[in-house]
Amino acid sequence: MPPRTPDVDPGTDLERHRALRIALNAAPHLSRPAAYRLALEPERWAGAAARGEPPDRLAAALGVPRAQMERALAVAAEAEPRAARELAAAEQLGAAVLLREDPGYPEALRQLDLPPPVLYVRGALFGALFQTAPAVAIVGSRRADAYGLEVADLFARSLAAAGVAVVSGFAYGIDAAAHRGALAAEASAGGVTLAVLGCGLGVDYPRGHGGLAAEIAARGALLTEFPCGLAPRSWHFPVRNRVIAALTAGTLVVQAAPRSGSLVTARHALELGREVWAVPGRIFDERSLGPNALIRDGATLVQHPRDILETLRPAIRDPQPGLFPAAAKQFTPPPATALAEPPPGLAAEILAALAPGAIRLPEEIAAGLGMPVDGVLGALLELELGGWVRRHPGSAYGRA
């Protein structure tokens, strides 16, 4: 690369690169990955065309296909009017336009290898959101059933009430139930939720979610990397799902068909070193095949919001007990030690008296506990039968 032309004012250069990145991000014929890559290093190519560098050399140097490079150079030629149009559209929607260097741009996205060049954010809490609260994604099928919707609502309410920001994709089904559940958490608890869209903020999608969007904007935020007027397309959703995974400490998959978008979010979460939680369901239920497969493949099975809250500690304050009195009775998960539970009573005392690795005679154990040998012998037999202790030659006992 030739040395930077010294007669360019750096302030103006930065402004130009800012406009270029907004224009690149909004360019209709540029792939997302190419836009990500080129927006990372505008100084390496923005002035290159003017300097007569051939596009194929630039493309190879920057790691983008030549066709994408040529499109980007065409965008660069009219970057400023394009960016101005985007900024005006965002202003009309009441949305902030954040670039990577801006203070409101989430640190978790900034740290991605290929961060979204631009975020459009609308809502009350976008700045505070990522600094004050841990965030959890709750995602799942658009075609959820009553079970899935109840689970999404319960987890979202409980997490929001505990001070966790609930992030989802603003779709029908699980996503909407998660947003609504978070909003329904007691007002004192915050009830913060963040919707990440697969289209521009100016597009009314999906139909009928306008009221939900307004509620989310009032208490949380709507966020997208897509330009204001861009309608959703199927390939937008994996792009959105990467942002959802990256923004959160972990992703909870509630119901999802095999090969569905929620599993893409889970895969992104795994790749980014985030947690993946899944709610089990019936094996005959298509919508539970996704979460069940995730669990089989190593995701953490969760049965209660506290399974997630315990992972997030100490980042969060205590969940409010008794938040769901109606569901509380049936919603008592079993102890985590179901299989490792020690035997009760005398047997437990004897087990405690047997240090791991030690071999002791029943008489010694009885003397140590101040108990009759007979009772100790009986309890040792029960412990042996239960697999807790093993009998050694000479009638001595040790832990199994």
> Which residues ranging from 31 to 90 are in contact with a second copy (CB under 8 A)?
31-34, 36-37, 59-68
Nearest to 237 by CA among 259, 255, 261, 254: 261
Nearer to a second copy among residue 67 and residue 351 (C-beta): 67
Interface pick for a second copy out of 338, 345, 357, 393 (rule CB under 8 A): 338
β-bridge mates for residue 168, sequence order: 195
Give the residue with the Cβ less far from a second copy, 9 or 113.
113
Joined tokens for residue 122: 């609308």
Minimal distance in Å, beta carbon 251 to a second copy?
Answer: 12
Cβ proximity to a second copy, 126 vs 265, nearer residue: 265
Kind and range of the H or E run holding 309: helix 305-312
Under rule CB under 8 A, residue 391 binds a second copy:
yes
Which amino acid type is present at position 240? Answer: R
**Separation of alpha carbons 48 and 309, rounded Å:** 51
Cβ closer to a second copy: 92 or 392? 392
Is residue 113 close enough to count as binding a second copy by CB under 8 A? Answer: yes
Give min distance, CB of 258 to a second copy, in A. Answer: 3
Burial class (CB in 10 A: 0-12, 13-18, 19+), 22: buried
Tell me the per-residue interface mask from 293 to 332 with a second copy, x by CB under 8 A, - otherwise: xxxxxx-xxxxx----------------------x--xx-
- 387 touches a second copy (CB under 8 A): yes
**Which element (helix H / strand E) includes 138?**
strand 135-139
Is the Cβ–Cβ distance between 38 and 49 less than 8 Å? no
Pick the closer one to a second copy by CB: 176 or 289.
289
- Minimum gap (Å) between residue 100 Cβ and a second copy: 16
Can you read off the two tokens belonging to residue 307? 């399974």
Query: Which region, judged by CB under 8 A, interacts with a second copy, from 10-18, 79-87, 177-185, 336-344?
Result: 336-344
Tell which positions 156-215 bind a second copy, by CB under 8 A: none
Q: CB under 8 A: which stretch of 13-21, 187-195, 223-231, 377-385 binds a second copy?
A: 377-385
Q: Provide the phi-psi class of 190: left if phi over 0, else alpha when psi is between -120 and 50, else beta.
A: left
Closer residue to a second copy (CB): 109 or 216: 109
Binding residues for a second copy restricted to 264-293, rule: CB under 8 A: 266-268, 270-272, 279-284, 286, 288-290, 292-293
For the CB of residue 331, give the shortest distance to a second copy in the complex, in Å. Answer: 7
Q: Pick from 6, 326, 336, 357 the residue near a second copy by CB under 8 A.
A: 336
- Backbone φ and ψ for 294, nearest 5 degrees, come out as -60, -45
- CA–CA dist 148, 256 (Å, integer): 9
Among 54, 94, 210, 333, binds a second copy (CB under 8 A): 333
Counting residues that bind a second copy (by CB under 8 A) gives 81
Region near a second copy per CB under 8 A, out of 17-25, 71-79, 205-213, 255-263? 255-263
Pairing label, strands 165-168, 135-139 = parallel
Name residues whose C-beta falls within 8 Å of residue 218's C-beta, 6 or more positions apart in sequence. 123, 124
3-state secondary structure of 210: helix
CA separation, residue 240 to residues 56, 140, 197 (Å):
30, 14, 6
Q: Is 362 in the site for a second copy (CB under 8 A)?
A: yes
275's tokens: 């947690």
